[in-house]
């Protein structure tokens, strides 16, 4: 029987890392930097919470009890009463980018299809990355068959960022053969190619079952 190799006198990688972490924890400069970072995160969270209070109040006035718009994003329960309130604040704007993102994301439900054209207009004029992301998600989730050509036009809108990748899935969902052809035309695209190939692969598997 082969005897187990004896451990060398040197420290393992895990032990070295543990020693380095301990040294950092006891380093006053490092500790001060960590505390400052955590304080900044708390400050930002507090400011965002204050900024969205008008939305929270209006939601509560229609019977939607939440402490943040993100509570709606993270629930699977329907909230039809909230949609007009969310849309009104989304159109009003003026909130921090993260709050604007939450409004768009909370409107990313099929019953919000009636506001699709509004989403499109706001998406094309969005300035913050988060706002653009939230509106792209809303457009994708609420799109119907009648929106196919507009989805394709948005996908080709170079003034917008890579948030346009959210439009590939609804193009497949509502587009039929036209949607499939659109995805096939994008398989080598540097921005959309990977997602297009994945969606086509999933579609091919579904056809075989």
Say if residue 4's pLDDT is above 60: no
Contact 182, 171 (CB under 8 A): yes
Summarised one tens digit per residue, pLDDT across range 98-149 is: 999 999 999 999 999 999 999 999 999 999 999 999 999 999 999 999 999 9
Q: Choose between 195 and 208: higher pLDDT.
A: 195
User: Using CA atoms, how far apart are residues 170 and 133, in angstroms rounded to an integer?
Assistant: 15
The model carries a pTM of 0.80
The contacts of residue 47 (CB under 8 Å, 6+ apart) are 96
Contact 117, 73 (CB under 8 A): no
DSSP assignment of 78-142: --TTHHHHHHHHHHH--S-HHHHHHHHHHT-SGGGGGGHHHHHHHHHH--SHHHHHHHHHHHHHH
pLDDT band at 8 (very low <50, low <70, confident <90, very high): very low
Q: What confidence score (pLDDT) does residue 15 get?
A: 78
pLDDT band at 5 (very low <50, low <70, confident <90, very high): very low
Say if residue 21's pLDDT is above 90: no
Number of alpha carbons in the 13 Å side-chain half-sphere of residue 122: 30
**What is the average per-residue pLDDT within 5-29?**
70
Contact 48, 99 (CB under 8 A): yes
Summarised one tens digit per residue, pLDDT across range 22-79 is: 767 777 776 677 667 677 667 777 888 899 999 999 999 999 999 999 999 999 999 9
């Amino acid at each position: 029987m082969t005897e187990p190799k004896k451990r060398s006198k040197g420290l393992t990688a895990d032990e070295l890392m543990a020693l380095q972490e301990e040294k950092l924890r006891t380093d006053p400069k490092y500790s001060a930097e960590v505390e400052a970072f955590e304080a900044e995160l708390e400050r930002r969270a507090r400011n965002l919470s204050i900024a969205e209070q008008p939305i929270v109040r209006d939601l509560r006035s229609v019977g939607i009890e939440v402490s943040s718009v993100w509570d709606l994003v993270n629930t699977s329960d329907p909230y039809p009463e909230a949609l007009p309130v969310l849309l009104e604040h989304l159109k009003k704007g003026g909130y921090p980018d993260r709050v604007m993102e939450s409004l768009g994301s909370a409107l990313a439900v099929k019953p919000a299809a009636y506001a699709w054209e509004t989403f499109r207009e706001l998406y094309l004029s969005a300035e913050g990355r988060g706002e653009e992301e939230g509106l792209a998600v809303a457009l994708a989730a609420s799109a119907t068959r009648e929106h196919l050509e507009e989805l394709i036009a948005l996908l080709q809108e170079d003034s917008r960022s890579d948030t346009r990748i959210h439009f590939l899935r609804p193009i497949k969902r509502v587009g039929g053969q036209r949607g499939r052809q659109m995805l096939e035309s994008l398989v080598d695209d540097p921005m959309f190619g990977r997602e297009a190939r994945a969606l086509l692969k999933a579609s091919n598997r579904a056809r075989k079952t």
